[in-house]
Structure formats: structure tokens, C-alpha cells
Structure 1
Amino acid sequence: MKNSTNNITKLILLHPNIQKQGSSNRLWLIALISCLTLAFLVILIYTRESISITVTNVAASSTTPSVNPPLSESIVKALLHYSSNSNNTEQMPYPDLKSISDVLGQCPSPCNFLVFGLTYEFLLWKALNHNGRTVFIDENRYYAAYMEEKHPEIEVYDVQYTTKISEMKEIIASVREQVHNECRPVQNLLFSDCKLGLNDLPNQLYEMDWDVILVDGPRGYWPEAPGRMSAIFTAGVLARSKKGGNGKTHIFVHDFNREVDSVSSDEFLCRENLVKSKDLLGHFVLERMDENSFQRLKALHIK
């Protein structure tokens, strides 16, 4: 019985069918392992390539500045056309719009555009300077807040003016006396004690290199109105205190036919910097000045 049992055991262990099944299982296992290994290698190679492409794109985007292309000429013409053909009696005429638009179109990208006055054309200025920064300064805090809420894409700040048109002669005479002290043409307006210097704007605005400045506010229709003396003086200081860029700032003064605007421009922007004057618009180009040198402001005989 013992020998018989051993023989049976040997027969079972050495049966050909059992050996065939074992070989087949090993082949399937080897095939499965091979497939998994191949899949792992494919995933590894694909992942490495994806990471390499991502890193390359990030590096390229960090070294190459993103610049929006300028508006096409047809779009600019359409914007100017519809902005100058509405029924609003306070709108700026087409020739004035065109003059400012041309300068914005030639402005280095990105262009920094400062506008005194939240006027009818504010959305036009934002659109024409679509690849730059456009900042609006208005005297009415409630109107500024309302328009910013209604148009969240615009950047508006309010400022309090302390001048009166009826005091223009006295104010200009006072500034002339302080031209080498508080009312210097080159200074940090944040720490200015000059009555005409606006020093309550956000700090970041004084650090900006403004390429174009438009003075189209505040109001100036009656003797007690603030007029644009402070806006024009501040624009001149910002332009002369410019640190970077090409060293030049284009300043446009709207309603240039008014006495207060014309006299203040001649006094603080200087007549020799006037490149064009037609109807309601005066166009000045001011160059950066050295902090230690003062350009003598032209004294005018105000009648």
C-alpha cells in the first residue's frame, strides 16, 4: 500500500496536463507583467514630455512680455465717429477726440493715461487705451463711486479741490513766490505744501510714469467753481518728475479757450512747450527735468 501510494503521488506530480497548466499560467503572468511594464513606461515618457512642455511654456511666458495688439484703424474710426455724433451737448468735438486718439495710438505699450474729469468720453478713453492703464480723477466722490460700480472695468479716484476761479490771480502770484520751495516744478507731491499740488491721491499714482495726461476737469463755469489750476499744475509736476519711459509726457488741456485754463497752462506748462492749439484743445509736450534744476516759469501779465 505504501509503494502504491507513492507511485500514485508521483503520477499526479508528473502528469503532463498539470505541467502544461503551470507553463500556461506562467506565460500569462509574464505577459501581464510585460503589458504593465510597457504601460508604465509609456505613462512615464508622456508625463516627462508634458512637464517639459509646461516648464518651457512657463519660462517663455515669464521672459516674453504679454502685449495686446493695438486697435485697428477701422475700430478707432468707428469709436470716434459714434462718440462725436451723439446728441450730448457736452461732448468733445471730433477734431479734439482725433488729436488725443492719435497720440494714444503712438504711445509706447503699455500706455499710462491719466484723465482729470470723469466726462462723457470716459469709456472712449478706456477703449482707445485698451492695452494700457487709464485712471480717472473726479471731484465728485458720489458720482465717481456710482460710475465705478456701474462700470467696474474703469479705475476712478475722487479728489477734493480747494481753489476758486475768483482767486486765480492771487493763487498764481503765490505760486510764483514759492517756485523754488513748496511749489517746485519737480517734487514729490505727496509731501507738497503747495496749495495747487494735489497730494491726497493714492500713493501708487505718484510713482507712475504718465505718458499722456488729459485735463478735462474739474468744473470751471462760475467764479466759485474750483477751476483747473490744480489739475494743470499737478499735471506739469507729474510730467517733469517722470523717472522712466522716454522722458516725455503729452498733456492735453480741454476748454483751452477759457481764461483760467489758458493762463494756468501758460504759467505751469509753459508756452514754449505748446505744440498745437486749436479751438478748445491745447496740446503740450513736457520733458523730464532734473530734480536739482528748475525751469524758470514764464511770468504772465494777467489782465
Structure 2
Amino acid sequence: MKTGAKFIVLHPSIHKPGGGGALVVALSHRTWLLVLLLFFAFTFGFTLITIRDATRTSRPNRSATAKAATDAPLPRPVFDALLHYASINDTASGRMSSAELKSISAVLRRCAAPCNFLVFGIAHETLLWNSLNYNGRTVIVDESSYLVSKLEEKHPRIEAYDVQFTTKVSELHPLMAHYRLQKKNECRPVQNLLFSDCKLAINDLPNHIYDVPWDIILIDGPRGYFPAAPGRMTAIFTAGVLARSKRGGVDKTHVFVHEIEREVEKLCSDEFLCRDNLVETKENLGHFVVSKMTAARGFEFCPTPIHHSHRN
């Protein structure tokens, strides 16, 4: 008797290890695992960003706080202490008296920060001016490149420049005669000093100095105490032009002239800063308040010209 044909059905997924079904299952598990990892990573990142933004919103702006602290004026006790110690032994040669220091510091204290303070001459008080004008801009101009380099070496944060004062004390009257001939041209009270050919103008400072709206200018240099020394005629003339040609800032500029009892300082202050603008004299310090003007107002520095006796 014949038996029927037998069929053997093979199942590769059962008899072969690592079959296709197992591979599908393994891939499916890995995909879900990857999805879960991405989900947790996204959730963690989103939470971190949300917390950081909330913290920024709730906390004060540190940069703004730091800037506000930096822009704050010098505390009154510190200001007074600096002024006090600078006034000690004020009888030493070349130093300002206590009354003179207080006259300048009072204006510095009232000056709205930032205050722009231009000083002609390196002196005992140089560091004091830079400190009292805290958060302001103090620029020192001196005749000595050596003193300027030493100042910058010891105090690199101080802005200082040397300038060549080519005029001498003995040349006062010839220079004033030159001014009177050129006051409607090169020696006008309103002009761009950088391009001036007036013999009394200082035109070799860094260009940006002429664009600063100076609030206070102190003339305490160059030396000017003997005939062959550089005179202060050019410094006083330049201060008068800077004040009248001022761009921006307040309309008035405080100009202080030290040792105003000397001939050069007195005559040039009368001519270029004007007696009508003299608000105070403290010992040997003259304090002028000069208003800016337009070129259309004329060629006279002073509304009431001063007539001096001239030497031959």
C-alpha cells in the first residue's frame, strides 16, 4: 500500500538564528529607545531654557547695575578727603593754595557727569584733578614730552599729550599786535583751530581734542615765569576759542587762569576771556565763565574791548 506524499514546511525564522522577524523586533526596540532619548533630551533642554529666562527676568540686570555704579559721581566724603590732603602744605613752591583748589573743585563738583576737563600744565595737582573728575574725561597738555611720558608710565589711565609752545614770554606784545591785525581773519574768536594760521593758536594737538565740548579749562602751564620761557598767550587764546566755538554740551565753559597777576596772564585773560566774564578771583586764580557764540556775532572776543598801554 502506497502512502501519500509528505510535505515538509520549513520556517526559517525558527530554524535559523537571527532571522528576519527578530531583526524587525530588535530594530523596533532601538527606534523606540532613540525616540525616548530624544524626547527626554528635548524636555530637559526646554526646561533649562525656561528656567534661565525666568531667572533673567526676576534678577536685576547686572550689566545695567554695574554701569549705574560706574557712572555714579565720586562720593562726597572721598571728594572732600582728596581735596583736604591735597591742600596740606599748600605754601610749597608751585602749588595752588587751599582757596584756589576749592574754587576749581567747587565747579568740578557741580559739573554734570561726565565732565570734560582740559588742563594745560602738569603740576602737583594733576592727580587730584583726574581723581576729582571721577567718571569724567580729564586731558592734560604739557610742554615737556619727558614729563608726559613719566606721567603715562606711572599712571597709564591718565590721558596726557605734549605740545610744542613756540612762543616766548618776551614775545607778548608783538604777538598781540599780530592778533589785532588778524582778528577778522586767522585770529577770529570762532574758528576751527586745527586749520588755524594764527600765531596764538595751538593747532598741533590730536584732532579729537578740538571736537570735545570742554566744560572746564584750566591754564596752569606752560611755565611762563621768565622771558625766554614758553608763555601762556597761546593757551589762553586757545581756551577762549574753544569756549566760543563749542559744539554740544552746555553753552558756557569755566576757564581758570592760574598766576593771573603776571603780565602775560592778565593781559591775555582781559583780551581773550574778558573782564565781563570774570566771576571770581581767589588769590592768584582767575575764574571766567565764557559763553559760546556764532561767527555771525562779529570778530571781537569781548563786547567791551579792553585798551592796554603797549610797550615798544
Please tell me the TM-score bracket, short chain as reference.
Answer: 0.7 to 0.9
Does the alignment pair 1:75 with 2:78? yes
Change (3 A) 1:128 1:139: same
Contact 1:192–1:199 (CA<8 Å) still a contact in 2?
yes
1:27-81 CA distance string (max 9 Å, x none): 8975774354123233145347758959xx99x96xx998610011110111011
CA separation in 2, counterparts of 1:108 and 1:74? 18
> Which residue pairs with 2:20 in the alignment?
none
Amino acid at match of 2:86: S
Q: TM-score, normalised by structure 1?
A: 0.84
Contact 2:140 2:161 in 1 (8 A): yes
CA offsets 1:135-170 (integer angstroms, 9 cap, x no match): 110001122122212211111111111222122122
The aligned counterpart of 2:19 is: none
Equivalent pairs counted in the alignment come to: 292
Provide the rounded CA distance (Å) in 1 between the counterparts of 2:191 and 2:297: 11
**Secondary structure class of the residue paired with 1:148:** helix
Show the 5 A alignment for 1:218-229: 218-229=222-233
Q: Shift of the alpha carbon at 1:108? A: 2.1
What SS does structure 1 have at the residue aligned with 2:130? helix
Q: What do residues 209-231 of structure 1 show as CA deviations (whole Å, max 9, x unaligned)?
A: 11110000000111111221110
Of the three residues 70, 88, 109, the one matched with 1:85 is 88
Gap change, CA 1:188 and 1:65, over 3 Å in 2: farther
Aligned in 2, Cα 1:39/1:204: closer, same or farther, shift over 3 Å? same
Identity of aligned residues (%): 50
1-structure distance, mates of 2:203, 2:50 = 55
Q: Distance in 2 between matches of 1:193 and 1:25?
A: 89
In 1, are the aligned partners of 2:222 and 2:232 still within 8 Å (CA)? yes
- Structure 1 residues 32, 271: closer, same or farther in 2, change over 3 A? same
Q: Which moved more, 1:93-102 or 1:191-200?
A: 93-102
> In the alignment, residue 288 of structure 1 is paired with which amino acid?
K
Q: Find the counterpart in structure 1 of residue 258 from structure 2.
A: 254
Query: Following TM superposition, by how much is the alpha carbon of 1:177 offset from its aligned partner in structure 2, in angstroms?
Result: 2.2
1:167 aligns with 2:171: yes
Correspondence for 1:16: none
* Structure 1 runs of 4+ with >6 Å offset: 2-6, 8-13, 22-29
Aligned to 1:235: 239
- From 36, 57, 60, give the equivalent of 1:34: 36
Secondary structure of 1:292's match? helix
Q: Distance in 1 between matches of 2:27 and 2:301?
A: 100
Q: Which residue number in structure 2 is paired with residue 18 of structure 1? A: none
* Alignment partner of 1:147 is 2:154: no
Aligned residue for 2:183, secondary structure, equals coil
Q: 80-89 or 211-220: which moved more?
A: 80-89
Contact 1:190–1:206 at 8 Å: present in 2 too?
yes
Is the Cα contact below 8 Å between 2:272 and 2:301 reproduced in 1? no
CA 1:10 to 1:254, structure 2 compared with 1: closer, same or farther past 3 Å?
A: closer
- Structure 2 counterpart SS, 1:225: coil
Structure-2-length-normalised TM-score: 0.81
Match of 2:99 in 1: 95
Report if aligned partners of 2:191, 2:241 keep a CA contact under 8 Å in 1. Answer: yes
Supply the AA of the counterpart residue of 1:75: V
- What residue in structure 1 maps to residue 288 of structure 2? 284
The answer for the alignment partner of 1:17 in structure 2 is none
CA contact (8 A) 1:256 1:279 kept: no
Specify the alignment match of 2:307 in structure 1: 300
Aligned partner letter, 2:257: V
Question: 2: CA distance between counterparts of 1:179 and 1:245?
Answer: 26
Q: Which deviates further from its counterpart, 293-302 or 169-178?
A: 293-302
In 2: Cα distance, 1:223 partner to 1:128 partner: 34
1:111 aligns with 2:115: yes
Gaps of 5+ in 2: 1-5, 17-23
